[in-house]
Amino acid sequence: MIASTDFSEVLDYNQYGSPDYNQVRGQKFPDQSEVFTINAISGKAITLSSVLTYTHWGKDDEHAEVGLLTRRIVVRSDTIAAGDSFGGHFMMRKGPITKVVGVEFTQLGQLGTLARYPVHFHNMQSTFGMGVLVDSCSIHDNFQRAVVVHESYGVTISNNVAFNTTGHMYFLEDGGEYGNVFNHNLGIRARSIGASTGNQLIPTDVTPAIFWITNPYNNYTNNAAASGFHGFWYSMPEHPLHLGGKNWAGSNFMWPRRLPLGLFDRNTAHSMFGSGIHIDDMMKSDETTELAHYEPMTGPYNDTSYGNRLEGRYTNCLVYKCRAHGVWGKSHMHFINLRALDNQVAYMVNGNSLLENSVITGETDNIGNPAFVVSYIRKSRVYPDQWGNPTVLAGHSSYDNGGPQFGVGNTFINFAPNSDRPAGALVTLRFGPFLLFPKNQYRGLTFVNANEVWIEYTNLDAQYGWNVQDMDGSITGISGGAWIQSNTTLFRRQGCTFRSKWNAYVCPQFPRVTYSFPSLTTRALLEMETLSTRLCPDRDPYAVSYIHLEAVKTVTKRRPQVHQACTCKMSLQEVLTK
């Protein structure tokens, strides 16, 4: 089996609003993963049973994965199972040490029936130190899921190939599953299933993920996901559901949306209709989803108190050819050495976030399969919009609510506008109703054949409230940095200049003044913004907020801080004594 390296299928827009749309409906743009038989091997030369139908790219960061589907030990349903998608199933319960290595599982699972999956760890609970694993197996052409971990802790799933199944593929079930290891697994082609079929186990099976993650405290390393709706979908409930709710009843340490993030390193996701890495749309108690943040912190957890905030760190990831986003997230997160290529939007997060030392490429030489470049959209290359239409080619997109969002040491390549669509390495959310967080900051950025900024106006505050700081001039070319602000009179002031290729203004930094607040009172903090507003009518409104927030930190940490003063001549000490 050879994976697609192009975009996923295109959905029919008229079906998208329905709970029963299917990824293979709509415009003729097929899933391009292919299955072949190996006829001969001579050294490094492999002879296949037929020629390739599609182009499978193999250059730079974009390489087609190849998975072996056959094994010598085979677990297969009888020949009539395919007629009604009702096959056998393989379940492991707690007992003797369980190791399953080098087995082929096919034509298994019972569509629409709970607990009937091709490979299923069921309520084994703690297996730490027991060596429980499924390794080097092939799990293909099954009727429901691939590998399911249900209320089992400490299991290892490694070196497996999963291909062509219905619903989510590698699956954590209730949200109580923790301490499991997913290493070097391949998953390709998770098929959608609608509610009207009567065979949908949970509503999100209509938008299936290759890796469905309901508990963050598990390790995911060296895995690859292709041809699903999302690649890695973090969708944690507030509390474990069903059997997990019983197992963890009364626990103040099992709160999936607050648990620390396990290791997430060297994972790849591509050819997704949605996002390569998706941290949002969290599962509710009724198994539908809600927009929600993942906020890792120290325990114990309860409804009224919170521990210390922790950083969710995602390292060395690769995302490409995703129709929506390479990365979409709502969390306190830190992405290091992300490589994102050929996505509609490379990176968009909401929350306190840092993107660091990453390379974001708008377009590579992989234009898509030549047969579809002309016949499908009559353009020079296949474009990444979900519906196959040209759109803004976007790198790091600011979100309209939450922050601050930081970018440090990142390189943006090939974000050049053309007659088909505008482009920007730094953009804003196209359909956001809120202003941006005023402390979004960038430094140490590099641009190669890239329009640094593009703001597209759709009469929403996310565009008209776009204000970010270039801290060192690496974006604007201005020594000492500058503000980049939207094309609106709300924020413009003396010294701002319009840059037409950005559709935005560049405005000078405000003067910085250093103050020490060894004994600043809470009352003074509360009065600071009001006083500054009254006494400094030409102030930078965001600088006042900056003073206020940093002064709070000073009181908390009991040490001096550097603060930004308003533009009037009155000192901040004078403001505080008025």
Q: Which residues make Cβ contacts (< 8 Å) with residue 193, sequence separation at least 6? A: 111, 166, 167, 199, 200, 205, 206, 208
pLDDT score of 153 more than 70? yes
| 387 close to 344: Cβ distance less than 8 angstroms | no
Q: What is the CA radius of gyration of the chain?
A: 26
Which residue would you say has higher pLDDT here, 537 or 202?
Answer: 202
d(CA 555, CA 561): 10
| 87 close to 143: Cβ distance less than 8 angstroms | yes
Q: Write the burial class of residue 230 (CB in 10 Å: 0-12 exposed, 13-18 middle, 19+ buried).
A: buried
Which residue would you say has higher pLDDT here, 355 or 30?
Answer: 355
As given in the structure block, the two tokens for residue 529 are 């913004």
CA angle at 101 for the pair 97 and 106, rounded to the nearest 5°: 115
Q: Which residues make Cβ contacts (< 8 Å) with residue 349, sequence separation at least 6? A: 279, 327, 328, 329, 330, 331, 333, 355, 399, 405
Q: Where are the domains of the chain?
A: 514-577
Q: Give the pLDDT confidence of 247-289 residue by residue, as tens digits.
A: 999 899 999 999 999 999 999 999 998 999 999 999 999 999 9
Return the H-helix or E-strand segment holding 126.
strand 119-126
How far apart, in Å, are the Cα atoms of 526 and each of 73, 203, 387, 531, 540? 71, 46, 49, 10, 18
Percentage of residues of the chain with pLDDT beyond 90? 65
Amino acid at 207: T
Question: If pLDDT is split at 50, 70 and 90, which confidence band does 565 have?
Answer: very low
As given in the structure block, the two tokens for residue 171 are 């699956």
Give the pLDDT score at 55: 92
User: pTM of the entire structure?
Assistant: 0.87
359-361: strand order across its sheet: 73-76, 103-106, 138-140, 161-166, 186-191, 224-226, 268-270, 318-320, 339-341, 359-361, 411-415, 446-450
| 138 close to 105: Cβ distance less than 8 angstroms | yes
As given in the structure block, the two tokens for residue 62 are 């974009």
Q: Please tell me the least confidently modeled range out of 95-109, 325-339, 392-406.
A: 392-406
The residues facing 494 across adjacent strands are: none
As given in the structure block, the two tokens for residue 150 are 């249900």
Q: How do 275-279 and 282-283 pair as beta strands?
A: unpaired
Give the pLDDT score at 306: 77
Amino acid at 250: G
Give the pLDDT score at 557: 37
Q: How do 282-283 and 333-336 pair as beta strands?
A: unpaired
Percentage of residues of the chain with pLDDT beyond 70? 79
Amino acid at 486: S
Which residue would you say has higher pLDDT here, 568 or 31?
Answer: 31
Residue with tokens 């196959």: 388
Backbone φ and ψ of 526, nearest 5°: -65, -30
pLDDT score of 169 more than 80? yes
Q: Give the pLDDT confidence of 490-508 residue by residue, as tens digits.
A: 667 789 999 999 999 999 9
| 395 close to 426: Cβ distance less than 8 angstroms | yes
Q: Give the pLDDT confidence of 404-433 residue by residue, as tens digits.
A: 899 999 999 999 998 888 999 999 877 666
Q: Which of 130, 181, 172, 128 is nearest to 151 (CA)?
A: 172
Q: Which of 19-33, 334-348, 531-545 has the highest mean pLDDT?
A: 334-348
Which residue would you say has higher pLDDT here, 460 or 51?
Answer: 51
Question: If pLDDT is split at 50, 70 and 90, which confidence band does 542 have?
Answer: very low
d(CA 150, CA 122): 5
Q: Give the pLDDT confidence of 9-27 residue by residue, as tens digits.
A: 755 545 555 666 554 444 5
Give the pLDDT score at 436: 66
pLDDT score of 458 more than 80? no
Which residue would you say has higher pLDDT here, 486 or 34?
Answer: 34
Question: If pLDDT is split at 50, 70 and 90, which confidence band does 143 have?
Answer: very high
| 178 close to 153: Cβ distance less than 8 angstroms | yes
Return the H-helix or E-strand segment holding 576.
helix 572-577
Rounded to the nearest integer, the mean pLDDT of the chain is: 84
As given in the structure block, the two tokens for residue 68 are 């072996």
Mean pLDDT of 41-45: 94
d(CA 210, CA 195): 19
pLDDT score of 521 more than 80? no
| 279 close to 333: Cβ distance less than 8 angstroms | yes
d(CA 565, CA 578): 16
pLDDT score of 132 more than 70? yes
Q: Which of 200-204, 371-375, 467-471, 565-569 has the highest mean pLDDT?
A: 200-204
As given in the structure block, the two tokens for residue 16 are 């998208």
Q: Please tell me the least confidently modeled range out of 195-209, 232-246, 394-408, 457-471.
A: 457-471
Q: Give the pLDDT confidence of 474-489 residue by residue, as tens digits.
A: 999 999 999 998 877 6
Amino acid at 567: T
d(CA 204, CA 195): 10
